[in-house]
Structure 1
């Protein structure tokens, strides 16, 4: 009958919808379902009675973060997959070609390389480059690859978007990344430069830590978090001995409504293999 059941308030137990509810709604006599609202925050205790306090107004960036994170946490059932990649060869390659990027005005960071690797993974696994439309019970697959990059600024976390990453070379990405990160730190980003992402990358390797669980930025369905690389002993079967290798821990949080654990594990393995063998980037990227 063309009725969206999400708009119908059922008359049965726990608002179960019956055939008569649908017919009444179609004829204009039904009761619309109330819009979902977040539960009100409980009242805070009076902290001043325990000792001195100081209040400080949230910045606009922080208020926006509160809204978006609360919405993501209440909307997306998230799971996080953890993995490691041996980036020994990739790190050597990065240092080797860093001067070439500098001549073009960029800085060849691991984040720039990760953007290209993630773009290749999104093309290989299009489900991670999608969104869920619960109103129509459809999955929206995006034909573009726009990746948001979390930038730490004095004003808080900003997430500018680099567009069409799959169509750009690593050096071109490094130049654009440096430019847009500088705009973020200088608070010169336009609203358009923070919209339209289909996936997000958050690299905390420059600060430290061994792992974290990033929150999916709704309406995206996945986000990749990267932690600090470090030397670890890795067993070499051919040589029969341990070797010092640079391992990079990373974590993938994803929307379990669309992405299953096996999908996430394969996505992470693809990223690890691309980072471990730079030659693959020429084939898959």
Structure 2
């Protein structure tokens, strides 16, 4: 065996560092070439880093959440050399050693295939390593479908199990065949029983403060910190992410109750750590409530009758402490981009409102037909078509100012970025060549890009090459805003919510569907008058959608 170091590769053009968000392997795991071993967040993309070797993970050099410069060593592998002769006995020993190691966080202990991975069934031969090779997405799908992943035949490289293999196995009725489910139930790790866990630590709180899935016992005595029974083990197995969760929660891993074991040792999952920490916190809060039931003061001197100081999240004094949130990854990238845009391009925002009764009717007529083609039709494709018509008429809004060259580049491609709010921040996937696509094609592509952006599965390349951006703040109920230009573009259109509002026509006021528009421009390139003309041109096509047929 040879020891090989794996350095963080350049996972994106021009990227100097990335945040290691999640390890997909643990020391002792056997991996194959191209198998994802970690998730790294860089720029605006979350990417999987594949292994360059077939071998065994010897050491992880980076903690989850740590920023890692490109070129730093992140994993050390034990890799078989060309002349190595691995006997069956050696392979069996390696499999046994691997089974003794805790499973990686991306393969939860409740995985139905865990037992069969450690102890392959006689009628289902496994690779020499005793491990099923499958990406985390395939394992998640297997759990969702109730499929024992150890019984699935892999069609990928080296017998790797794909999502398609899992689905095919489930559709063929293979889930749970040959007693695999019984084996998993009898020998594999089991999910924690919330009620038994709460009994072990003395039931805490009432129905209003109970943890997820917990049921309060009205007849149980009020718990106190002294009634919380810690397991008090000398040794506990857990994956690195679970150990980090215990440190963050201030919990001793050896105190967390569990009925799961790995190779004869107690094994604890992140969920069990969370439940135990919550129960201890509830017990402390309940004791504070008991000692101050008459409105007196607790040890901190704060009134325990005050809901602000008797909150279910723990100590009264700590509840008012500020929380420090790391400024890095996607949030830092967004901040740097907004700063560059705001301090480089002088922004001016033009506001207007389109009366879109006809557009609402057209979309309602076409929505059902689009659904017949498995396409969810929103207003966005109509807006995109109207904007492209406007950009062709007013090319300065589809441009880029190149200051060093002292020129304005008028672009002939119409690639519209669609801002999507995600849990990680704002992402802007780009729909390319909008002028060459139909309404239904645009609808399908926008839906796909938005969904993958929210799941952090959109690629870096799919967020590049935009010439104009649309941001739909109306999706959360807004009307007008002053959107910041997606630099180096020169304009961005903000969409408010389409809703019924009062409109004055021919001396009368009626309720009409209106669409508020907010156009921000780079005033170095675009004049206010041109911005107004562009908006009017777009509004004309939104108010009379039949004009889009001419585009």
TM range (shorter): 0.7 to 0.9
CA distance in 1, matches of 2:485, 2:518: 12
The answer for the alignment partner of 1:5 in structure 2 is none
The answer for the alignment partner of 1:62 in structure 2 is 331
Summarize deviations over 1:193-241 as a string: whole Å, max 9, x none.
000000000012121122100001111000000111222232332xx53
**The residue matched to 1:205 in structure 2 has which SS?**
helix
| 381, 391, 402: which one aligns with 1:112 | 381
Summarize deviations over 1:150-205 as a string: whole Å, max 9, x none.
01111111100000001111111000111111110110111100000000000121
Counterparts of residues 238-277 of structure 1 (less than 5 Å): 241-277=508-544
Indicate whether 1:180 and 2:180 are aligned: no
Aligned residues: 232
**The residue matched to 1:209 in structure 2 has which SS?**
coil
CA distance in 1, matches of 2:509, 2:344: 45
Indicate whether 1:141 and 2:425 are aligned: no
CA distance in 1, matches of 2:541, 2:331: 35
**The residue matched to 1:217 in structure 2 has which SS?**
coil
The answer for the alignment partner of 2:436 in structure 1 is 167
Indicate whether 1:207 and 2:482 are aligned: no
Normalised TM-score (structure 2): 0.41
The answer for the alignment partner of 2:546 in structure 1 is 279
The answer for the alignment partner of 1:77 in structure 2 is 346
Normalised TM-score (structure 1): 0.79
CA distance in 2, matches of 1:103, 1:66: 42
CA distance in 1, matches of 2:373, 2:482: 35
**The residue matched to 1:206 in structure 2 has which SS?**
helix
- Going from structure 1 to structure 2, the CA distance change for 1:243 and 1:199 (only over 3 Å counts) comes to same
The answer for the alignment partner of 1:220 in structure 2 is 489
Summarize deviations over 1:247-266 as a string: whole Å, max 9, x none.
11110000000100100000
CA contact (8 A) 2:502 2:512 kept: yes
Structure 1: runs of 5+ lacking an equivalent:
1-50
CA distance in 2, matches of 1:106, 1:58: 38
Summarize deviations over 1:18-41 as a string: whole Å, max 9, x none.
xxxxxxxxxxxxxxxxxxxxxxxx
The answer for the alignment partner of 1:101 in structure 2 is 370
| 76, 86, 98: which one aligns with 2:355 | 86
Moved over 4 A (4+): none
The answer for the alignment partner of 2:203 in structure 1 is none
Q: Which moved more, 1:270-279 or 1:227-236?
A: 227-236
**The residue matched to 1:85 in structure 2 has which SS?**
strand
CA distance in 1, matches of 2:405, 2:528: 25
The answer for the alignment partner of 1:34 in structure 2 is none
Summarize deviations over 1:7-62 as a string: whole Å, max 9, x none.
xxxxxxxxxxxxxxxxxxxxxxxxxxxxxxxxxxxxxxxxxxxx622112135111
| 232, 240, 246: which one aligns with 2:501 | 232
CA contact (8 A) 1:59 1:155 kept: no
CA distance in 2, matches of 1:60, 1:115: 30
CA distance in 2, matches of 1:70, 1:123: 29
CA distance in 1, matches of 2:383, 2:412: 20
Deviation at 1:117, TM superposition (A): 1.2
CA distance in 2, matches of 1:241, 1:260: 34
Structure 2: runs of 5+ lacking an equivalent:
1-319
